[in-house]
Chain A
Amino acid sequence: QQQVKQSPQSLIVQKGGIPIINCAYENTAFDYFPWYQQFPGKGPALLIAIRPDVSEKKEGRFTISFNKSAKQFSLHIMDSQPGDSATYFCAAAGRAQKLVFGQGTRLTINP
């Protein structure tokens, strides 16, 4: 129940394409869903986050879509660039403020 399942494990997209990364959760007590971006050898950086009372949130080229009934959420990157190549992690948290992370998606944007 504490797991967050993320897919795909790796993804290759051409520049300008729209990579989509998906996550699913079981625990209905989760009420905060962030995405993190991590470059090799660096700590993860908070990218964007959503609460379950909205179905979509956009920040720049990054969009989270949230489906509460399906217990799924996804990250879309519009007009992807080679600089977006990184590992992306979804996560979920409940009232205890402890994040449960997905296993990560290694994204490569080819020029």
Chain B
Amino acid sequence: SQTIHQWPATLVQPVGSPLSLECTVEGTSNPNLYWYRQAAGRGLQLLFYSVGIGQISSEVPQNLSASRPQDRQFILSSKKLLLSDSGFYLCAWTSDNSYEQYFGPGTRLTVT
């Protein structure tokens, strides 16, 4: 069966520090991968999606970037965090020919 992992689970970082969040999927190959951000009490905002290694599409211009160095690995990064980057970051995947999107457990980021 397929499993999606995210780490770290929680992170507290000062303003101006770098960020690296990691997402990995097990049990499938060539998944479509997604990064979302969820502000407190709000819906989910799609940040990036990827259909393959090195292929990244950005949905919202911002302080963040994404990379996909391996087939089942998706990384969210920032060079300098802003207070507004605080939130709950979720990674998700679908198989290439399916709409069903499955989410990871999330990373709670607090920028202080």
On whether A44 and B99 interact (CB within 8 A), knowing A97-B32, A99-B46, the answer reads no
Q: Does B49 contact A43, Cβ atoms closer than 8 Å?
A: no
Q: What is the total number of residues of chain A having a CB less than 8 Å from a CB of chain B?
A: 21
A100 closest partner in B (C-beta): B46
Q: Does B42 contact A104, Cβ atoms closer than 8 Å?
A: yes
Query: A98 interface residue, CB < 8 Å from B?
Result: yes
B97 closest partner in A (C-beta): A97
Within 8 A of B (CB), among A67-111: 89, 93, 97-104
Q: Does A34 contact B99, Cβ atoms closer than 8 Å?
A: yes
Residues in A with CB closer than 8 Å to B44 are 44, 89, 99, 101
Q: Does B103 contact A89, Cβ atoms closer than 8 Å?
A: no
Q: What is the total number of residues of chain B having a CB less than 8 Å from a CB of chain A?
A: 22
B96 closest partner in A (C-beta): A97
- Chain A 1-20, CB-CB to B under 8 Å as 1, else 0, gives 00000100000000000000
CA distance A57 to B98 in the complex (A): 18
- Which of B43, B49, B100 sits near A46, CB closer than 8 Å? B100
Query: A54 interface residue, CB < 8 Å from B?
Result: no
A90 closest partner in B (C-beta): B43
- Which of A6, A41, A46, A100 sits near B102, CB closer than 8 Å? A46
CA distance A74 to B98 in the complex (A): 22
CA distance A42 to B92 in the complex (A): 13
A102 closest partner in B (C-beta): B43
Q: Does B43 contact A99, Cβ atoms closer than 8 Å?
A: no
Q: Does A89 contact B43, Cβ atoms closer than 8 Å?
A: yes
Q: Does B101 contact A46, Cβ atoms closer than 8 Å?
A: yes
Task: List 23 interface pairs A-B (beta carbons < 8 Å), by A numbering.
Answer: A32-B99, A34-B101, A36-B103, A41-B108, A42-B106, A43-B90, A43-B92, A43-B103, A43-B105, A44-B103, A45-B103, A46-B100, A46-B101, A93-B99, A97-B32, A97-B94, A97-B98, A98-B49, A99-B44, A99-B101, A100-B46, A104-B42, A104-B43
A residues touching B (Cβ–Cβ < 8 Å)? 6, 32, 34, 36, 41-46, 49, 89, 93, 97-104
